[in-house]
C-alpha cells in the first residue's frame, strides 16, 4: 500500500490517558514506531504536542469515542492536521484489543489514507451566566 502521510500519529483517548503511536517512515521505506502514554491533564497534553512537533508530525487521527477527545483536539488544534474519525466507521482492530494496538491501528490507517475525517464543530465551553 502507498504511504500517504509520514510522520503521522494515532491517538487512543480515554478519560485519564492518551496513548499515542507515532509512525515515521524514512526515504528507504523503513518505519520507526514510537508509543508514549500521556495523562489528559493540560501540561501532559502540551507535552504531547511538543513531542509531535519535534518529530515533525504533520497528520494525526483521534477516534471520536465519547467526549474525551474534545480537550485533546482543542489543545493540539493548529499544530498539525487533525482528523476526528467516527469509531463506528473504523474497522475493528484484528487480534486482541489493547489501547496500544488501537493507537497503532489508527496510525496505520491514517498513514495509508484509510481514515475519513468528520466535520468537527469548534468545541466551546459553556459560559457562566
Q: For residue range 69-126, list pLDDT tens digits in order.
A: 899 999 998 888 898 887 766 666 566 578 888 888 888 888 877 776 654 545 444 4
Cell of 58: 504533520
Dihedral Cα 94, 12, 67, 84, nearest 10 deg:
-80
Sequence ranges of the domains in the chain: 8-111
- E strands present in the chain: 8-13, 17-25, 31-39, 59-63, 81-85
Mean pLDDT of the chain: 82
**pLDDT computed for residue 127 by the predictor:** 43
Cα separation, 43 vs 31, in Å, equals 29
Indicate the SS3 state at residue 104. Answer: helix
Beta-carbon-side half-sphere exposure of residue 66 (alpha carbons within 13 Å): 9
Chain segment 41-74, per-residue pLDDT in tens: 999 999 999 999 999 998 999 987 788 989 999 9
Under CATH, which number does the domain 8-111 receive?
Answer: 3.30.420.10
Amino acid at each position: 500500500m502507498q504511504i500517504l502521510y509520514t510522520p503521522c500519529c494515532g491517538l487512543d483517548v480515554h478519560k485519564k490517558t492518551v496513548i499515542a503511536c507515532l509512525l515515521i517512515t524514512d526515504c528507504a521505506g523503513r518505519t520507526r514506531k514510537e508509543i508514549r502514554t500521556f495523562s489528559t491533564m493540560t501540561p501532559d497534553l502540551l507535552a504531547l504536542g511538543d513531542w509531535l512537533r519535534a518529530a515533525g508530525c504533520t497528520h494525526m487521527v483521534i477516534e471520536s469515542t465519547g467526549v474525551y477527545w474534545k480537550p485533546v483536539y482543542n489543545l493540539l488544534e493548529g499544530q498539525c492536521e487533525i482528523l476526528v474519525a467516527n469509531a463506528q466507521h473504523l474497522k475493528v482492530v484484528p487480534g486482541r484489543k489493547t489501547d496500544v494496538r488501537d493507537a497503532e491501528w489508527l496510525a496505520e490507517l491514517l498513514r495509508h489514507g484509510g481514515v475519513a475525517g468528520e466535520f468537527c464543530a469548534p468545541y466551546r465551553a459553556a459560559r457562566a451566566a
